[in-house]
Amino acid sequence: MNSQALPCPEPLNLIEWRQSLRATEQRASRLITTMKPSSFHKVDLMKITSFCHTLIAGLALSGAIAAQAAEFKVETDSQVDGHFPNAQFANVFGCHGGNVSPHIRWQDAPAGTQSFVVTVYDPDAPTGSGWWHWVLADLPASVHELSLGAGSEPGKLPAGAVQFRNDAGQTSFLGACPPAGQTHRYVITVQALKVAKLDLPPTASAAMVGFMSYANGLGKASTTVLAGR
């Protein structure tokens, strides 16, 4: 009995790689199930072994590619046990914090990224639509960090970055200030875009910035910090 070759495909992407693996596995299954017990000694065992190695290596590569694609992440050290300290609280609306924007850094953005959008959003604010605390766009692709106070102190933003109005009407960071007795989530998000700049007027709302960001997005990473009083 002549065994069939079980080639190792050269995929262009993860989806094609997995499809090729499934097709190869199906061919091997058909080959083995049609063999008579007496003919096993005639099968080229080297090719069967090669197929097994190819399948195992392919599955490992699939996992590695998937893990790599999920590595875009953002973090902040402006927190203590997952909560904002007083420095990141507002100094209005009955709060008496430092109103200092948090230190944020991110890594492993998707290939082709040309700019970033950074936002801080409170989905628990009692407004029916949450509360945008910070909206920052047109960050160059070479930037991977915002220093402490970048959105609250003049001159600390990276060159080219544009701040849009938060929900208090300010073109700057506004600190956390949940109602007394409540703890809210503050979602820090970095979106990677395929364009260098968003074509928006300086008066654009956070919702419009979000719409254009999703239209031009390559990926996003988020982390959540709590704040309560």
- Shared-domain flag, residues 58 and 150: no
Contacts 24+ apart (CB under 8 A), 89-95: 89/175, 89/176, 89/177, 89/227, 89/229, 90/174, 90/175, 90/176, 90/177, 91/175, 92/168, 92/174, 92/177, 93/177, 94/177, 94/180, 95/175, 95/176, 95/177, 95/229
- Shared-domain flag, residues 50 and 131: no
H-assigned helices in 34-152? 45-69
Q: Is residue 155 part of a domain?
A: yes
- Shared-domain flag, residues 149 and 105: yes
When computed from its CA atoms, the radius of gyration of the chain, rounded to whole angstroms, is: 26
- Shared-domain flag, residues 172 and 188: yes
Q: Is residue 7 part of a domain?
A: no
- Shared-domain flag, residues 143 and 180: yes
Residue 202's CATH number? 3.90.280.10
- Shared-domain flag, residues 151 and 176: yes
- Shared-domain flag, residues 58 and 80: no
- Shared-domain flag, residues 88 and 160: yes
DSSP tally for the chain: helices H, then strands E: 3, 8
Q: Is residue 1 part of a domain?
A: no
- What is the domain count for the chain? 2
Q: Is residue 39 part of a domain?
A: yes
pLDDT at residue number 156: 96
The DSSP call for residue 195 is S
User: Tokens 């990473």 belong to which residue?
Assistant: 221
The DSSP call for residue 203 is T
- Shared-domain flag, residues 45 and 101: no
- Shared-domain flag, residues 114 and 164: yes
- Shared-domain flag, residues 172 and 101: yes
Q: Is residue 5 part of a domain?
A: no
Q: Is residue 113 part of a domain?
A: yes
Q: Is residue 4 part of a domain?
A: no
pLDDT at residue number 39: 52
> Which pLDDT tens digits describe the chain residue by residue (229 residues)?
444 444 444 444 555 556 665 666 666 566 555 655 555 454 555 555 555 455 455 545 555 555 455 589 999 999 999 999 999 999 999 999 999 999 999 999 999 999 999 999 999 999 999 999 999 999 999 999 999 999 999 999 999 999 999 999 999 999 999 999 999 999 999 999 999 999 899 899 999 999 999 999 999 999 999 999 9
Structural domain that includes position 194: 73-228
Domain end point (choices 69, 88, 104)? 69
- Shared-domain flag, residues 87 and 186: yes
Structure tokens at 201: 């007027």
> Is the overall model pTM greater than 0.85, yes or no?
no
